[in-house]
Each structure stands twice: as structure tokens, then as C-alpha cells.
Amino acid sequence: IKPGHNLAEYITDHGIIPGLKLDQGLAEIVQTGEPYTVGGKDLYDRARTAYDNGFRFAKWRAEFHIAKDQPSFIATEQNAELLANFAKECQLAGIVPIVESDILQDGSYSIEECAAATDRILCAIFEKLEQRSIDLSGCLLKTNMVTSGKSVEQPATSDAIGMATA
């Protein structure tokens, strides 16, 4: 990197559009013990600073687990709300948001259970995005693969994973 240039300028000079992660990790929902993503405080200011420094997209990841009674309604709604808030603040700051829902593969759930959970999660996310008037043409969705858990007795085949994810 040339003196006086920052990383975003260096990347841009090489024909790459720079982006960054704006979430600040995970915390636990008291009622359910499930994870939620933190980083909403001063989010617009951080997004605007990122834009001013040359970044043009940002990612926010919500983590979900499939287990007995999980993902819960509370975790689904709270994470969907946080993702929509992130998307709104990014778009207001001029940054393209990448909204990521991620079901971890830990566990012994079936591909059908994963498909059902993914459907519930994505429906909640898009409902919240619509409520916040997010411009979907300026927003990217990064979703999980629909698969069985790592510990399941009969793992899903590649073909089944592809079809369920599509």
C-alpha cells in the first residue's frame, strides 16, 4: 500500500469493490439461550464512516441452530429485526447490505427440518425488510445451504441438498 492510501483505496485501485463486516459478533438471548447478532449501536455512523473510507458493501450475519424448539420464534424475530435494521442503516449510508442467515450444521436434524427452518427464517427476514421499506434491488441475501445436520444418521445427498437449497 502506498503511503497515504488506505486499504479500501488500494483495493479499489486494483479494480475490486471493497466491503466489510459491520456486525460485532454474537450474544445470547436470555429467554432462549440462542444467539443474536450485536452491533446495532452507532450502526449508521459506522456504515457512513465505512462509506467515506471507500467501502461499498457490508455484511451482517445472523446465526441459527436447529434443535428442540429451535430456532425459536423469539430468536427468529429478533434476528430478522436486526438484519432489517442493518439493511436500512446501510442503505441510508449508501452501502449495499449483505443480509446473511446462517443455520449451523451442528446437530442431528434432517434436511426436511432444515428446509422448514430456513423457510420460517427467510419469511421473517423478508417481512421485516418489507416493513422497513428496504430496496431489495440494492440488497443481497446470503443464505445457508439446506442440508441435514452433521450428526444425522442418514446424511442428505448432494442432489437433495442442491434441490432443497434451490
CB 76 within 8 A of CB 124: yes
CB 50 within 8 A of CB 20: yes
Torsion of CA 48, 49, 52, 58, to 10 degrees: -70
CA distance 61 to 71: 15
Can 128 be counted among the known catalytic residues? no
DSSP 22-43: ----EEE-TTT--EEE---TTH
Can 100 be counted among the known catalytic residues? yes
Q: Which residue among 21, 112, 130, 142 is the active-site one?
A: 142
**Residue 117 neighbours by CB under 8 Å, 6+ apart:** 64, 66, 71, 103
Q: Which residue among 100, 127, 130, 153 is the active-site one?
A: 100
Count of alpha carbons within 13 Å of 114, Cβ hemisphere only? 28
Name the residues annotated as catalytic.
100, 142
